[in-house]
Amino acid sequence: MQHFPARLIKSLATSTSLPCTTTTLQELASAHPKGVARVVLKKGKTQLFKDGSPMVYSGAVDRIIGRPPPRTGDVVLVADGAEKPIGWGMYNSVSMFCVRLMQLDEESTRDCSCALNMGKLLETRINEAIELRKSLGLPSASTNAFRLVNSEGDRLSGLIIDIFGDVAVIASSAAWVEKYKAEIEACVGRISEINHINWRPSVEILKEEGLDVSNLKEANPSICPQRTKVMENGIFYAISLEGQKTGFYADQRENRQFISTISDDQKVLDICCYSGGFALNAARGGAVNVTGVDSSLDPPKLAPRKKVLQNASGMYRNLNSLAMQLTRRGGLLMTCSCSGAMTQSGTFLRILQGAASAAGRKITVIRDAGAACDHTIDPSYPEGKYLSNILLRVL
């Protein structure tokens, strides 16, 4: 069984932590050698962020106090209308998210070792993420593919770290993450099982963050192998580190395992199968016939050759069309997934209901699940609940 080291990662911060003799974030900021700019919120906007929402949008900001003004990637205070600090975070002069909050005032004063010190906070939060995954049994003898850091869910907004065996894939979607690349890689590199780090900047999102992405890939060269093998719930997969997302849909782990429990003696069609996770779990669960279909040319190369994984480029591109075709049959069990805005609004289920109605059928929901437990969610940021996996019965 693999285990991360129990010891805390040694401090990598280049600056000295502030002494914990002061009692407020205001006093900590006053003692900061470089000074800290202040982002002052509009009247009536403070409570949302005091309650924990991590993303301070530009429309909530009244004014910025600081000379010279803060630059993207700088540490700033976030203050109420009376200019009293409520927390601190990472500033962005261009993004719709003006500040990504990292600590509230109460947290900073309880333990000021991380206050206004992003390097130290990174070490602490990555260590906390390691310990949490250990408590969830990750990694284990049967699974070495999982999410170590899940952005807002692990209170490091814009940073995702997935572990695939001895490879750590770091996905960057915030300017501050790019600024602290060396510190992040140093923290991850100290995990004893990790031999390779693959840095994957989310180029389109980073454009919105105001970064010049023209030479971003050249600035982030990777010496990782293009492919690696991982194990999930006892099933081996070959994954592409240049593929979709970070290379593997680890968020579906528990949903794939559930499919294996209801597949005995069933015929299973896995649409948009990618590396064949649902199909392989169905086969392990005793399905008598399993077929995987994907519009991409690459996934079938990643799936085990012994399994039937057909390639059908462009097939079922339209969700309504797919649902219509499948819901014409009664007595059918369907499991469907979607991510993004449709998950939040319920649009996904309404599309399926509409398709069933048009086909003269009715559906009932048997199971409604989301991402695996290592994909932690901040309840103050419901947008982080991005995945919906629904098991339906077609009547």
Asked whether residue 5 carries a pLDDT value surpassing 50, the answer given is no
Q: Tell me the torsion sign for CA atoms 219, 225, 226, 232.
A: negative
Per-residue confidence (pLDDT) for residue 309, from 0 to 100: 34
Tell me how far the alpha carbon of residue 67 is from its chain's centroid.
35
Q: Which residue has the higher pLDDT, 168 or 388?
A: 168
Q: Which pLDDT tens digit goes with each residue over 230-244?
A: 999 999 999 999 888
Determine the straight-line distance between the first and last CA of the chain, rounded to whole angstroms.
45
Q: Which residue has the higher pLDDT, 116 or 301?
A: 116
Asked whether residue 303 carries a pLDDT value surpassing 70, the answer given is no
Would strands 159-164 and 167-172 be described as parallel, antiparallel, or unpaired?
antiparallel
Q: What pLDDT band is residue 292 in, cutting at 50, 70 and 90?
A: confident
Burial class (CB in 10 A: 0-12, 13-18, 19+), 318: exposed
Would strands 196-201 and 167-172 be described as parallel, antiparallel, or unpaired?
parallel
CB 275 within 8 A of CB 164: no
CB 327 within 8 A of CB 351: no
Phi-psi region of 121 (alpha: psi -120 to 50; beta: other; left: phi over 0): alpha
Q: Which residue has the higher pLDDT, 59 or 304?
A: 59
Per-residue confidence (pLDDT) for residue 325, from 0 to 100: 64
Q: What pLDDT band is residue 217 in, cutting at 50, 70 and 90?
A: low
Asked whether residue 390 carries a pLDDT value surpassing 70, the answer given is yes
Q: Which residue has the higher pLDDT, 160 or 223?
A: 160
Q: What angle do CA 101, 50, 33 make, to 5 degrees?
A: 50
Instruction: For residues 132-157, give the mean pLDDT.
Output: 98
- The amino acid sitting at 64 is I
Asked whether residue 119 carries a pLDDT value surpassing 70, the answer given is yes
Selection from 153, 201, 149, 148 nearest residue 174 by Cα: 201
Task: Say what percent of the chain tops pLDDT 90.
Answer: 64
Instruction: For residues 216-239, give the mean pLDDT.
Output: 84
Instruction: For residues 319-334, give the mean pLDDT.
Output: 63
Asked whether residue 1 carries a pLDDT value surpassing 50, the answer given is no
Q: What pLDDT band is residue 324 in, cutting at 50, 70 and 90?
A: low
Q: What is the SS3 assignment for the chain? A: CCCCCCCCCCCCCCCCCCCCCCCCHHHHHHCCCCCCEEEEECCCCHHHHHCCCCEEEHHHEEEEECCCCCCCCCEEEEECCCCCEEEEEEECCCCCEEEEEEEEHHHHHHCCCCCCCHHHHHHHHHHHHHHHHHHCCCCCCCCCEEEEEEHHHHCCCCEEEEEECCEEEEEECCHHHHHCHHHHHHHHHCCCCCCEEEEEECHHHHHHCCCCCCCHHHHCCCCCCCEEEEEECCEEEEEECCCCCCCCCHHHHHHHHHHHHCCCCCEEEEECCCCCHHHHHHHHCCCCEEEEEECCCCHHHHCCCCCCEEECCCCCCCHHHHHHHHHCCCCEEEEEEEECHHHHHCHHHHHHHHHHHHCCCCEEEEEEECCCCCCCCCCCCHHHCCEEEEEEEEC
What is the rounded (10 degree) CA torsion for 16, 21, 22, 23? 120
Strand ranges across the sheet with 267-271: 267-271, 289-294, 309-311
Instruction: For residues 254-265, give the mean pLDDT.
Output: 96
Mean pLDDT of the chain: 86
Long-range contacts of 251-255 (CB under 8 A, 24+ apart): 251/147, 251/371, 251/372, 251/375, 251/387, 252/277, 252/278, 252/337, 252/371, 252/372, 252/387, 252/389, 253/143, 253/145, 253/146, 253/372, 254/369, 254/372, 254/373, 255/335, 255/337, 255/369, 255/372, 255/389
Q: Which pLDDT tens digit goes with each residue over 358-381?
A: 889 999 999 999 999 999 999 999
Q: Which pLDDT tens digit goes with each residue over 159-201?
A: 999 999 999 999 999 999 999 999 999 999 999 999 999 999 9
CB 23 within 8 A of CB 109: yes
Q: Which pLDDT tens digit goes with each residue over 9-55?
A: 333 333 444 556 556 898 889 888 888 999 999 999 999 999 999 99
Asked whether residue 282 carries a pLDDT value surpassing 60, the answer given is yes
Instruction: For residues 263-285, give the mean pLDDT.
Output: 91
Tokens of 114: 């991380």
Instruction: For residues 112-117, give the mean pLDDT.
Output: 93
Instruction: For residues 59-76, give the mean pLDDT.
Output: 96
pTM summary value:
0.87
Q: Which residue has the higher pLDDT, 7 or 194?
A: 194
Report d(CA 253, CA 152) in Å as an integer: 20
Per-residue confidence (pLDDT) for residue 16, from 0 to 100: 43
